């Protein structure tokens, strides 16, 4: 796709600390990119002495794999994210303030820098981030080798939809583009409601070819093989740490009314993993200039390993069961993750 297919519209903002929001579109996707000003930013530094008690490497595969290198066999070892406590009522009141600026994978820490820089428009997240940073600098003695990328997403979640539609997947998957392998991604997340679902079961993936097969669709299939029986969810407002082998998926709002949700992720990626995807936010509190590029999994033209399986398990959410794009505004296609019983989480897959 050529550069000419990219649409951009810059809308000035009167929000404190925010100069404008750029609305960017390409290949049918839309992004809101905030343009922050540079005054009054928050600088956060780790206080490891404030970190909560944490599991040892023997007790948690996630802790064991911090600063390990990508290894597909790790998917065969089930793992639950590490629980890091919940935001208290006062913290939650600040965290959930409405009109939060949406941000996608913006670096708030660069390698060889031990401070985290947060534009002041994101001040409501400083408390949750401080708790995360305290843990990171306790668990990962190699934190200097990493970027920390921040994603904030706050919005109304309509009934029978997900906040962030996706198949079962992991964050920080290393496909054919990443040889030699990088250190493992590990990510901290918290949401006030609709906590993410994790699948604490072994996944057999070594027979797939990373140049041909979509691993996330195979994760869908293996979760469906167990009818989601290994599903685990943290509590609302619970901070957790997952790694790039924790298979997960957002959960649907099954209530009849919209739910307002605030979700935060801080992802740690080694220095080679520059998140230069067009649509990611820029942090003006750091001096860096990455050429941003279009990057989508669709461009890889991967296919399902199980070609004759339920088609809902191997199409993108914005496609119908034949792989054709859904009309704008249509409910997204959801994977049927329970083969033997009608799935309470997939009532619309047939209609998609």
Binding letters toward Fe ion, positions 199-218, x by CB under 5 A:
--------------------
Q: Which is nearer to Fe ion, 171 or 214 (CB)?
A: 171
Count of residues near Fe ion by CB under 5 A: 1
CB of 248 to Fe ion, least distance (A): 6
The minimum distance between CB 188 and Fe ion, in angstroms, equals 12
Alpha helices in the chain (DSSP H): 61-65, 89-95, 126-139, 215-225
DSSP-based three-state secondary structure for 215: helix
Q: Counting contacts by CB under 5 A, is residue 171 touching Fe ion?
A: yes
**Is 174 in contact with 182 (CB distance < 8 Å)?**
yes
Stretch that binds Fe ion, among 60-68, 118-126, 167-175, 202-210 (CB under 5 A): 167-175
Give the CB-nearest residue to Fe ion: 171
Please identify, using beta-carbon distances, which residue of 110 and 168 lies nearer to Fe ion: 168
- For Fe ion, the closer of residues 171 and 243 by Cβ is 171
**Span from 59-67, 126-134, 166-174, 338-346 in contact with Fe ion (CB under 5 A):** 166-174
Options 25-33, 71-79, 170-178, 222-230: segment touching Fe ion (CB under 5 A)? 170-178
For residue 282 the two structure tokens come to 């820029």
Taking contact as CB under 5 A, which single stretch among the options 5-13, 59-67, 164-172, 316-324 is the one that binds Fe ion? 164-172
Structure tokens at 80: 């639950």
Residues ≥6 apart with Cβ < 8 Å to 299: none
Long-range contacts of 287-294 (CB under 8 A, 24+ apart): 288/107, 288/110, 294/1, 294/6, 294/26, 294/27
Query: Tokens representing 318?
Result: 């914005």
Distance CA 19, CA 11 (A): 9
Footprint on this chain of Fe ion (rule: CB under 5 A): 171
């Amino acid at each position: 796709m050529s550069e000419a297919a990219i649409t951009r519209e810059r809308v000035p903002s009167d929000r404190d600390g925010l100069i404008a929001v750029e609305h960017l579109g390409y290949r049918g996707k839309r992004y809101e990119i905030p343009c922050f000003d540079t005054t009054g930013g928050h600088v956060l530094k780790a206080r490891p002495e404030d970190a909560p008690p944490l599991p040892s490497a023997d007790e948690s595969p996630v802790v064991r794999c911090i600063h390990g290198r990508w290894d597909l066999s790790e998917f065969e070892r089930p793992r639950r994210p590490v629980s890091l406590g919940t935001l208290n009522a006062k913290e939650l009141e600040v965290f959930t303030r409405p009109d939060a600026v949406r941000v996608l994978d913006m670096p708030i820490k660069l390698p060889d820098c031990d401070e985290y820089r947060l534009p002041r428009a994101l001040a409501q997240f400083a408390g949750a981030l401080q708790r995360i940073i305290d843990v990171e600098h306790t668990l990962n003695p190699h934190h200097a080798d990493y970027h920390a990328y921040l994603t904030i997403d706050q919005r109304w979640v309509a009934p029978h939809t997900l906040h962030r539609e996706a198949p079962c997947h992991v964050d920080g998957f290393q496909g054919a583009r990443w040889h030699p392998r990088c250190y493992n991604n590990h990510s901290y997340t918290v949401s006030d409601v609709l906590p993410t679902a994790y699948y604490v079961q072994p996944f057999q993936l070594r027979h797939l070819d990373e140049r041909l097969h979509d691993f996330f669709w195979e994760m869908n299939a293996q979760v469906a093989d167990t009818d989601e029986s290994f599903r685990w969810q943290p509590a609302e407002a619970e901070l957790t740490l997952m790694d790039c082998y924790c298979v997960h998926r957002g959960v649907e709002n099954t209530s009849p009314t919209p739910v307002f949700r605030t979700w935060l992720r801080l992802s740690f990626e080694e220095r080679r993993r520059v998140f230069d995807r067009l649509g990611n936010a820029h942090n003006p509190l750091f001096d860096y200039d990455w050429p941003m590029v279009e990057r989508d999994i669709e461009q890889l033209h991967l296919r399902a390993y199980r070609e004759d399986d339920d088609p809902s398990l191997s199409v993108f959410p914005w496609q119908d069961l034949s792989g054709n794009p859904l009309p704008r505004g249509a409910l997204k296609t959801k994977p049927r993750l329970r083969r033997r019983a009608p799935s309470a989480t997939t009532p619309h897959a047939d209609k998609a």
